[in-house]
Amino acid sequence: MDNEIAALRTEILLWQDVLNKEGVWLFLGTLGSWSVAPGWLRTTAFAITIFLFMWRANGQRNDKTSYVKRLNQLENTIKSKEGLDISDKALLFDIGELRKLFEFKHLLKYGAVYLVCVAFWGISIFKS
Protein backbone atom coordinates (compact mmCIF):
# COMPACT_ATOMS: atom_id res chain seq x y z
CA MET A 1 0.00 0.00 0.00
CA ASP A 2 2.90 2.32 0.77
CA ASN A 3 4.20 1.89 -2.78
CA GLU A 4 0.77 2.74 -4.22
CA ILE A 5 0.66 5.98 -2.25
CA ALA A 6 4.19 6.92 -3.32
CA ALA A 7 3.39 6.14 -6.96
CA LEU A 8 0.19 8.19 -6.77
CA ARG A 9 2.10 11.13 -5.27
CA THR A 10 4.61 11.00 -8.13
CA GLU A 11 1.80 10.77 -10.67
CA ILE A 12 -0.04 13.77 -9.20
CA LEU A 13 3.10 15.91 -9.17
CA LEU A 14 3.90 14.93 -12.77
CA TRP A 15 0.31 15.73 -13.75
CA GLN A 16 0.62 19.20 -12.25
CA ASP A 17 3.84 19.68 -14.20
CA VAL A 18 2.07 18.59 -17.41
CA LEU A 19 -0.69 21.13 -16.76
CA ASN A 20 1.89 23.90 -16.44
CA LYS A 21 3.59 22.89 -19.68
CA GLU A 22 0.33 22.48 -21.59
CA GLY A 23 -0.91 25.76 -20.09
CA VAL A 24 1.65 27.57 -22.22
CA TRP A 25 0.04 26.05 -25.34
CA LEU A 26 -3.38 27.08 -24.05
CA PHE A 27 -2.08 30.64 -23.72
CA LEU A 28 -0.64 30.64 -27.25
CA GLY A 29 -3.82 29.12 -28.66
CA THR A 30 -5.88 31.77 -26.89
CA LEU A 31 -3.71 34.52 -28.36
CA GLY A 32 -4.18 32.96 -31.80
CA SER A 33 -7.96 32.88 -31.27
CA TRP A 34 -7.95 36.65 -30.89
CA SER A 35 -6.78 36.95 -34.50
CA VAL A 36 -10.04 35.41 -35.74
CA ALA A 37 -12.88 37.76 -36.67
CA PRO A 38 -15.26 38.49 -33.76
CA GLY A 39 -18.44 36.47 -33.49
CA TRP A 40 -19.25 32.81 -33.68
CA LEU A 41 -15.99 31.96 -35.43
CA ARG A 42 -13.86 33.43 -32.62
CA THR A 43 -16.01 31.64 -30.03
CA THR A 44 -15.46 28.42 -31.95
CA ALA A 45 -11.71 29.08 -31.99
CA PHE A 46 -11.74 29.51 -28.19
CA ALA A 47 -13.74 26.28 -27.81
CA ILE A 48 -11.34 24.37 -30.04
CA THR A 49 -8.41 25.79 -28.08
CA ILE A 50 -9.71 24.52 -24.73
CA PHE A 51 -10.69 21.19 -26.29
CA LEU A 52 -7.17 20.68 -27.66
CA PHE A 53 -5.66 21.69 -24.32
CA MET A 54 -7.77 19.16 -22.41
CA TRP A 55 -7.19 16.47 -25.03
CA ARG A 56 -3.40 16.91 -24.92
CA ALA A 57 -3.25 17.12 -21.13
CA ASN A 58 -5.57 14.16 -20.51
CA GLY A 59 -3.84 12.11 -23.16
CA GLN A 60 -0.76 12.00 -20.97
CA ARG A 61 -2.57 10.27 -18.09
CA ASN A 62 -2.55 6.49 -17.92
CA ASP A 63 -5.40 6.09 -15.44
CA LYS A 64 -8.38 8.31 -16.22
CA THR A 65 -9.93 7.83 -12.75
CA SER A 66 -9.87 11.09 -10.80
CA TYR A 67 -7.13 11.44 -8.22
CA VAL A 68 -9.66 12.23 -5.50
CA LYS A 69 -11.55 9.02 -6.26
CA ARG A 70 -8.32 7.02 -6.16
CA LEU A 71 -7.37 8.60 -2.84
CA ASN A 72 -10.81 7.78 -1.46
CA GLN A 73 -10.46 4.16 -2.62
CA LEU A 74 -7.09 3.82 -0.91
CA GLU A 75 -8.43 5.42 2.25
CA ASN A 76 -11.49 3.16 2.29
CA THR A 77 -9.32 0.07 1.77
CA ILE A 78 -7.24 1.00 4.81
CA LYS A 79 -10.22 1.95 6.97
CA SER A 80 -12.06 -1.27 6.12
CA LYS A 81 -9.41 -3.34 7.90
CA GLU A 82 -10.18 -4.66 11.38
CA GLY A 83 -8.23 -2.76 14.00
CA LEU A 84 -5.99 -0.09 12.53
CA ASP A 85 -2.38 -0.40 13.61
CA ILE A 86 0.24 2.35 13.61
CA SER A 87 1.34 1.66 10.02
CA ASP A 88 -2.28 2.03 8.84
CA LYS A 89 -2.52 5.36 10.63
CA ALA A 90 0.72 6.42 8.95
CA LEU A 91 -0.77 5.50 5.56
CA LEU A 92 -3.89 7.53 6.34
CA PHE A 93 -1.65 10.46 7.26
CA ASP A 94 0.17 10.09 3.92
CA ILE A 95 -3.16 10.15 2.10
CA GLY A 96 -4.06 13.33 3.98
CA GLU A 97 -0.78 14.83 2.83
CA LEU A 98 -1.61 13.91 -0.77
CA ARG A 99 -4.95 15.69 -0.45
CA LYS A 100 -3.01 18.87 0.32
CA LEU A 101 -1.63 18.76 -3.23
CA PHE A 102 -5.09 19.86 -4.40
CA GLU A 103 -5.39 22.83 -2.04
CA PHE A 104 -5.41 26.24 -3.68
CA LYS A 105 -2.20 27.42 -2.01
CA HIS A 106 -0.32 24.40 -3.40
CA LEU A 107 -1.81 24.94 -6.86
CA LEU A 108 -0.91 28.62 -6.66
CA LYS A 109 2.67 27.78 -5.73
CA TYR A 110 3.30 24.91 -8.17
CA GLY A 111 0.65 25.46 -10.81
CA ALA A 112 0.83 29.21 -11.31
CA VAL A 113 1.50 28.98 -15.05
CA TYR A 114 -1.53 26.73 -15.51
CA LEU A 115 -3.79 28.95 -13.38
CA VAL A 116 -2.75 32.14 -15.18
CA CYS A 117 -3.26 30.57 -18.61
CA VAL A 118 -6.69 29.18 -17.73
CA ALA A 119 -7.67 32.54 -16.22
CA PHE A 120 -6.51 34.32 -19.38
CA TRP A 121 -8.56 31.90 -21.51
CA GLY A 122 -11.62 32.45 -19.29
CA ILE A 123 -11.32 36.24 -19.41
CA SER A 124 -10.85 36.06 -23.18
CA ILE A 125 -14.09 34.13 -23.59
CA PHE A 126 -16.05 36.81 -21.75
CA LYS A 127 -14.30 39.73 -23.44
CA SER A 128 -14.50 38.45 -27.02
Using an 8 Å Cβ cutoff, are 98 and 74 in contact? no
Using an 8 Å Cβ cutoff, are 29 and 49 in contact? yes
Residue 70 has pLDDT above 90, yes or no: yes
| pLDDT score at 13 | 92
Using an 8 Å Cβ cutoff, are 40 and 79 in contact? no
| pLDDT score at 32 | 96
pLDDT bin (cut points 50, 70, 90) of residue 55 is very high
Using an 8 Å Cβ cutoff, are 65 and 15 in contact? no
Could you tell me the pTM of the whole model?
0.82
Question: What is the maximal distance between C-alpha atoms in the chain?
Answer: 65
| pLDDT score at 90 | 92
Residue 72 has pLDDT above 90, yes or no: yes
Residue 52 has pLDDT above 80, yes or no: yes
Residue 76 has pLDDT above 90, yes or no: yes
- What amino acid occupies position 88? D
Domain parsing of the chain, residue ranges: 2-127
| pLDDT score at 128 | 77
| pLDDT score at 71 | 94
Q: Using only the alpha carbons of the chain, give its radius of gyration.
A: 19
How many CB atoms within 10 Å of residue 113? 17
